[in-house]
Amino acid sequence: MNSARSWSVWGAAVAAYVLAVLQRSSLGVAGVDATERFAVSASALSTLAVLQIVVYAGMQVPVGVLLDRVGPKALIVTGSALLGTGQITIGLATEFPVAVIGRVLVGVGDAMIFISVIRLLTNWFSGRVLPQLSQWTGNVGQLGQLLSALPFAWALHGVGWTWSFAVAGALSLVALLVVLLVVANAAPDAPEIDRATTLREAGRSVVEAMRRPGTRLGFWSHFVTQSSGTVFALLWGTPFLIGLGYTRGEAAAMLTLLVVSGVLSGPLLGILTARYPMRRSNLVLGIVVALALAWAATLAWPEEPPLWMLVVLIVVIGVGGPGSFIGFDFARTFNPLRSLGSANGVVNVGGFLASFVMMYSIGLVLDLVDRARVAAGGASDLFAWDSFRLAFLVQYVVVGFGVVMLLRARRRTRQRMRESEGIEVAPLWRAVARAWRRRSEG
């Protein structure tokens, strides 16, 4: 464990994850081009993105079951093959239904990668490095978003739709070969894991994971932190910025701030998660409050928000990405290794469930507002600022519901800890007051 071989395995697996994020986020920078190529509305475009997210979220529990049965290597290889095939299909598509098929393949392949990489960590590393390495996995993975925002966007408008998607897909096929050569399911000195041997046992493992309050706490933590950034990066960020008058290149460059923000904040969140394990939910809630304030300031701006305000918004959204990985730390803490794949799958559904609800709802609101504008005698302007000002309010409803459920799950988790382990977690304000009193007395 924690050997040089461990780091090479991690590097190969993370490379596959980087490319999975590239394939996932490619539609975000190609959204406007997709409406022109396939002649579809905002609702139809959001359906294309939502379908991928629905498939991704729907596959998480089955993939988690498979992960506990066959191990992570087989799933990373299969997922990379599906990602490559899906992207090449989208590149060749000239009709919307064919693009839908390609996006479904991307969603299925993407669903297999991340939780498999996370599972590899527990099979190759041990100790306090694990929470920090989970954050670094997410941070490095977001370089795929950077690849989609810059070189992919450049290729899209340089060599065209077909070649851009085909080359992106081919990269995942290369990653497949690297994983085959380098990755193994577990280190030689890793503890033996009691794997489920039948589908009945695997199903029971999923049910047990879902029943644990700590798993549900991870689910809702992922739900409230990841969704805003996913919606912005995967679909509506580029049209939103273009609607404000920025060029495609400027919009793509601004999306790179999401990655920079995540890379800078992720290690700090990893350190805080490892150092204050009983306060992880407070970190999650703090991120949600920051997101709510940043969006409120932007949407309430009297006119179009200035550049500095958009930069602040995107930086805050970027923190939500590494913040969502705290959900997987809850799964790791409150589940045995034999069902950790299933638990991670459950957690990973959270953010993507919220994302596809937001994505489709935002597209629906944009279409409704545009129809009302045209009915009133105005010109059609699908991506107008006033339309996005209303559409983005959907986030408050979805995330607000998630926060309520998170607080319920946290209460039950703490109750379970108190009953089974005798651990009492005091409210944050009381812990802060106690620490301040000790410091004053010292």
Cβ atoms of 376 and 103 within 8 Å: the answer is: no
Check pLDDT > 80 for residue 261: yes
Distance CA 396, CA 362 (A): 12
Cβ atoms of 136 and 156 within 8 Å: the answer is: no
Check pLDDT > 80 for residue 206: no
User: For 162-176, what is each residue's pLDDT tens digit?
Assistant: 999 999 999 999 999
Cβ atoms of 218 and 247 within 8 Å: the answer is: no
User: DSSP secondary structure string, 224-238?
Assistant: HHHHHHHHIIIIIHH
Percent helix, strand, coil in the chain, to 5, is 85, 0, 15
User: For 404-436, what is each residue's pLDDT tens digit?
Assistant: 999 999 999 888 888 787 766 656 656 556 666
* Mean pLDDT of all residues in 263-270: 85
Q: What is the pLDDT of residue 247?
A: 86
383: its two tokens = 């991506």
Query: Torsions phi, psi of 273, nearest 5?
Result: -65, -40
Please name the amino acid found at residue 174.
V
Q: 39 in the Ramachandran plot: left (φ > 0), alpha (ψ -120 to 50) or beta?
A: left
Comparing 193-207, 291-305, 323-337, the range with the smallest average pLDDT is 193-207
Q: What is the pLDDT of residue 110?
A: 92
Please name the amino acid found at residue 170.
A
136: its two tokens = 């670094």
Average pLDDT taken over every residue of the chain:
86
Q: pTM of the entire structure?
A: 0.76
Contacts of 104 (CB under 8 A, 6+ apart): 51, 52, 55, 86
Q: What is the pLDDT of residue 316?
A: 96
What's the CATH number of domain 4-182+206-424, 1.10.1660.10, 1.20.1250.20, 2.130.10.10, 3.90.280.10? Answer: 1.20.1250.20
User: For 373-389, what is each residue's pLDDT tens digit?
Assistant: 988 888 888 888 989 99
Reduced to 3 states (helix: H, G, I; strand: E, B; else coil), residue 393 is: coil
pLDDT band at 199 (very low <50, low <70, confident <90, very high): low
Cβ atoms of 95 and 62 within 8 Å: the answer is: no
Distance CA 290, CA 229 (A): 13
Closest CA to 124 of 16, 4, 15, 266: 4
